[in-house]
């Protein structure tokens, strides 16, 4: 799948699996615990560059230019 920085791996996290707060690189707002969201990381990476996105921000990634997400 394509992300803002090139090919990425994507995993959808259900609300029940979201236990921590994260900062979304698409809108720079917090993703609260219990909120379903998307995790994406470079396809050629080891996962250390994982970023947690609001689902809507991820879906709009081609229309938005996040700051530094990688």
Number of domains in the chain: 1
Is residue 66 situated within a structural domain? no
Rounded Cα distance, 21 and 65, in Å = 22
Burial track 26-52 (b if 16+ CB lie within 10 A, e otherwise) = beeeebeeebebbbbbbeeeeeeeebb
5-19 pLDDT per residue, tens? 678 899 999 999 899
Is residue 17 situated within a structural domain? yes
> Does residue 41 surpass a pLDDT of 60?
yes
Domain range enclosing 43: 2-59
Is residue 65 situated within a structural domain? no
* pTM score of the predicted model: 0.80
Is residue 16 situated within a structural domain? yes
7 strand-pairing partners: 2
The predicted pLDDT at position 70 comes to 45
């Amino acid at each position: 799948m394509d992300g803002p920085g090139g090919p990425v791996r994507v995993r959808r996290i259900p609300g029940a699996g979201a236990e921590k707060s994260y900062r979304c690189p698409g809108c720079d707002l917090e993703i609260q615990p219990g909120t379903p969201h998307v995790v994406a990381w470079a396809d050629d990476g080891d996962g250390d560059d994982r970023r947690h996105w609001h689902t809507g921000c991820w879906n709009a990634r081609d229309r938005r230019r996040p700051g530094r997400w990688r």
